[in-house]
Structure 1
Amino acid sequence: MTARTYTSWRKSTRSDDGNCVEVAWADDGTIGLRDSKDTAGPVLEFGPLAWQQFTDTVRAGNFDL
């Protein structure tokens, strides 16, 4: 399995000190999400529909940790 290449990682505008995530897109449309403090660490990967559902849930305030 070949690892995806993500370009132009950007920090979430809603990140605060110590709780930062970055997002980037791969050429195949996959969206990657990672911890900005551990850029060599794991990347959560979402397809476009799953990403839309995830962001809609977060925006609606229905994401509890």
Structure 2
Amino acid sequence: MEEIVAVDRNNWGEIISFKTNTGRIISYRKAIQEIEVGYISGVILAEKQHDELPVVQNINSDDSSFENFPPIY
């Protein structure tokens, strides 16, 4: 099972992609799909609001964020 080790953010600080411990860089949408089927561990999906994407939350952090994760690039 893979884990998230780094994140890429847009100009507004929103996460747009993740890097896994195997070196794969996947989009936010692809990460959601892989979390749902159990390919990625250490994270959960929070309930989505309206038509937005679910929020990916880090279960290994006290505040469930990815603030301490390094950037991909």
Range of TM-score over shorter length? 0.3 to 0.5
Higher helix share: 1
**TM-score, with length taken from structure 2:** 0.36
Q: Which has the higher strand share?
A: 2
When normalised by structure 1's length, the TM-score is 0.40
Query: Quick check: which has more Rg, 1 or 2?
Result: 1
Q: Whose RCO is larger (CA < 8 A, sep 6+)?
A: 2
